Amino acid sequence: MPTPLDSPLSDCSVLGMFCGRSAKQSREFSHGALACTLLLLGLLCTSCGAVGPGPAAPVPAAVTITVSPSSTQTYQGAQVQFSAKVQNTTNTAVMWQVDQVPNGNSTSGTIDASGLYKAPAAVPGTPTVTITAVLQSDTTKTGSSSLTILSLSAFTGQLLVSPSLSSVTTSQLLQFQILTPGILNSDVNWAATGGSISPTGIFTPPSTAGAYQILASLIANPGAAGSATVEVTAFQGMLTWRNDNSRSGINTQELALAPATVNSSSFGKLFSCPTDGYAYAQPLYVANLRIGGVAHNVVFVATEKDSVFAFDADANPCVTLWQTNLAPDGTRAVEFPNLSVAGTNIVPFVGITGTPAIDRNGSVLYVVAANETITLNPARSHLLYAIDLSTGSNLQRTGVGIVPPDPLFNSAVENQRPALLLDDGAVYVGFGSYGGQCTGQTIPCPYRGLLYKYDASSLQQIGVFDVVPNALQGGIWESGGGPAADSNHNVYVTTSDGPFDVTRGGHSYSDSVLRLGTSGGLPVSDYFSPCDPQTMTSTGSDVGTAATVVLPDSVGSSGHPHLLLGGSNGGALYVLDRDNMGGCVNSPTSVQTISVGDGAILSTPLFWNNSVFVDAGGGHLKSFPMSGGILQSSPSSIQSPKPLGPQGATPVLSSNGTNNAILWLIDSSGALATPSTPAILHAFDPNNLSNEIYHSTTDVGARDTAGPAVKFTVPTVANGRVYVGTQTELDVYGLLP
């Protein structure tokens, strides 16, 4: 049955609903009319907003103030930081009170506008006080916390002294801190077993290297004490590629870093220093250098944008002591690739590639920078600089191949890839190519292997060795390594692909290991060559991919006391007699050739503790035992757990004398990825290569991630720190605070 509300609106007539109806009709008022009336009244009431009271207004949430910590304790004279969380209002500013006294007083303690409370010097009669935060916009709204003030004499635990283990040089001050909550540096008596320490905890080291104890005892209760260890090192610096002119790669004066202290919990990335370009050069380190009248430990970084940076080696965050750019006015670092070189081995700029060398006594850094004029057809050149260590100012410079002029030297295709050598008052500068890749040129690319010799004082050229004087190629690059020198100042270099015709009366020494004399320029006094340059070139087996290592005399035998170590692109290690290098005859009496069993050796091996360590391309880090001057043909069965990239890596080693040795290297395979991925720092126990004690990808949250990788880079280990150059920054690793 239809209801009254079922009547259509068209049935309604407001004006005639009751008019003209009889009384009976009125009494018989239809259900439809009633429905229409009610509907129209509802519409009228709705239009005037008079139906019901409407929704109730929301009740504002109560303003609350929460003080943190809600309850705590501290010692007399100590400080506690409080904070206030204000909710349900936009006006969150608060005022602070102690026992209802604004900002407190000397009896119950004081508190500043930031919520930093300082306890009174003496425990008050009522040791528990109330800290209150009062809302400035409505003082009826408060929050509070209770704090109990204890007497220092009540503390009986062990004091926490930080850093617990550290390393400093003999002129480096170090601030120690008491980290025990509520205990200040001024609350303890400080003492040191060597050097001195101030009442505020600043340690001044002694002049003698060694391990020293820092002792702290509570003045109010001397039985409460703590201690820390500081290693004072006499290490003067990393002044050249791989530590020294023998290219040993060993720093035996590292006192703080040890297998027991280097792991992902105690060791990691401390800070980084931004740079303006790729750092192919190994970072160099100088201890106790005075800059602006203040002694600093300084790390030097050279980049492919022709810049040299001097960073404080210890300051966190990073502090740049000086920066200099070596591109003369109107020039810049060379853009790559370009119309002369198609190769992309080094991009997007080439500036400083070879690792500089430092004269510590003269306070001079020697470096070669490539540049080009900013013109449509740029002219390119290489300049050798001597710059002041303390200021970065240019002391003098000379043009390589310009003074005196060398008509066959072509800066457009010559790559100053090897590290510089500073020996016996002379600076040696080597050149190779950019992977032998040229643009618009016939093959072979028109470069030559060259080694220039300059007087370190005047920068006058005093010698030059041309690997192929009547031909091309024969580059010196050594995968970024540098020429080596022995105690008699003989210089050793390796050369790459190209002609070899010495046995036919010529003067081309490609694919050779050379000993260069020091008199009359740079004459070849001896050499070794596998004597098959055609096969070596066609198979990529040249001996120029690794720098040589002058081994200690104690390693040799009575018949061969002076040995030289090298490697090849063919994956072989060479052990040569420096006194009789073998010439073109692979004589077993003067040359040992050991196959590593992996890819090319694009790195420089390392000798330590009667073993040779090598990481060839695509292979594991291996060690080959050596005894009586003889290198075993098979490696130790214990190797690194994983391969370390297609190019391998050049290792370095830190130790405290013969103890606590760590072998370090950088996996730079990320430089071959697109886009580049981070460099990875690895640390191994050289006594057990299967024990990788650290690598920079082990941490949680990418704490230790380095910058994008650069090919062939080598870490620098000095004074408890490890320095890693990348495409964008210098990363500094060390013991975590």
Structural domain contains residue 59: no
Same domain, 436 and 567: yes
Q: Quick one: pLDDT at residue 700?
A: 67
- Between CA 392 and CA 398 the distance in angstroms is 17
Q: What's the residue count for the chain?
A: 737
Strands, sheet with 461-466, edge to edge from the N-terminal-most edge strand: 421-423, 426-431, 450-455, 461-466
If you average pLDDT over residues 624-650, what whole number do you get? 95
Under the banding of pLDDT at 50, 70 and 90, the label for residue 589 is low
pLDDT tens track for 538-575: 555 689 999 999 999 999 999 999 999 999 999 999 99
Q: Across the strands, what pairs with 144?
A: 132
Question: Is 686 domain-assigned?
Answer: yes
Residue 198: predicted pLDDT: 98
On whether residue 58 sits in a domain, the answer given is no
The values of phi and psi at residue 148, to 5°, are -105, 130
| Cβ-count burial 2-40 (b if 16+ within 10 Å, e if not) | eeeeebeeeebeeeebeeeeeeeeeeeeeebbebbbeee
Q: Rounded to whole angstroms, how far apart are CA atoms 699 and 708?
A: 17
Same structural domain, 384 and 465: yes
Note down the domain range covering 313. 237-735
53 in a structural domain? no
The reported pLDDT for the residue numbered 15 is 37
Q: Is the model's pLDDT at 367 over the cut of 50?
A: yes
Is 52 contained in some domain?
Answer: no
| Residue 118 resides in a domain | yes
- Which amino acid belongs to residue 219? I
Residue 358 shares a structural domain with residue 447: yes
The answer to whether position 105 is within a domain reads yes
* Residue position matching structure tokens 């002591």: 321
Residue where a domain terminates, one of 134, 150, 166: 150
Residue 7 has pLDDT above 60, yes or no: no
β-strand pairing of 364-373 with 357-359: antiparallel
pLDDT at 443: 60
The span from the CA of 352 to the CA of 559, in Å, is 42
Q: What mean pLDDT, rounded, does the chain reach?
A: 90
Q: What is the mean pLDDT of residues 310-339?
A: 96
Q: Is the pLDDT of residue 68 over 70?
A: yes
Residues 349 and 453 in one domain: yes
What pLDDT score was predicted for residue 540? 56
595/530 same-domain check:
yes
Quote the percentage of the chain above a pLDDT of 90. Answer: 82
CATH of the domain at 89: 2.60.40.1080
3-state SS, 47-66, equals: HCCCCCCCCCCCCCCCCEEE
Q: Which residue has the higher pLDDT, 49 or 647?
A: 647
**224 inside domain:** yes
Phi, psi of 51 (to 5 degrees): -95, 110
Q: pLDDT by residue (tens digit) across 696-710?
A: 997 667 899 999 999
What pLDDT was estimated at residue 402?
79
Dihedral pair phi/psi, residue 635, rounded to 5°: -75, 165
Question: Which of 36-45, 341-350, 383-392, 622-631 bottoms out in mean pLDDT, i.e. has the lowest?
Answer: 36-45
What's the pLDDT score for residue 52? 52
User: What is the pLDDT at residue 571?
Assistant: 94
CATH number of the domain residue 211 falls in: 2.60.40.10
Residues 110 and 144 in one domain: yes
Tens digits of per-residue pLDDT, 602-621? 999 999 999 999 999 999 99
Within a 10 A sphere around the Cβ of 612, how many other Cβ atoms? 25
Summarize pLDDT for 465-492 with one digit per residue, the tens.
999 998 999 999 999 999 999 999 999 9
If one counts every other C-beta atom within 10 angstroms of the C-beta of residue 233, the result is 23
Instruction: State the average pLDDT over residues 517-530.
Output: 89
pLDDT for res 13: 41
pLDDT at 188 over 80: yes
Average pLDDT in the 104-128 region?
Answer: 96
Domain check: are 195 and 242 in the same one?
Answer: no
Domains contained in the chain, number: 4
- In which band, very low, low, confident or very high, does the pLDDT at 720 lie, cut at 50, 70 and 90? very high
| Predicted confidence (pLDDT) at residue 523 exceeds the cutoff of 50 | yes
40-44, 468-472, 524-528, range with the lowest pLDDT: 40-44
> What is the per-residue pLDDT for 302?
98
Answer yes or no: do 334 and 415 share one domain: yes
Q: In terms of domains, do 369 and 506 share one? A: yes
DSSP-assigned letters across all residues of 226-259: EEEEEEEE---EE-STTSSTT---EETB--S--T
**Domain match, 557 and 475 both:** yes
pLDDT for the residue numbered 35: 43
Highest-pLDDT range among 399-403, 533-537, 557-561? 557-561
Residues 13 and 114 in one domain: no
Do 248 and 116 have their domain in common? no
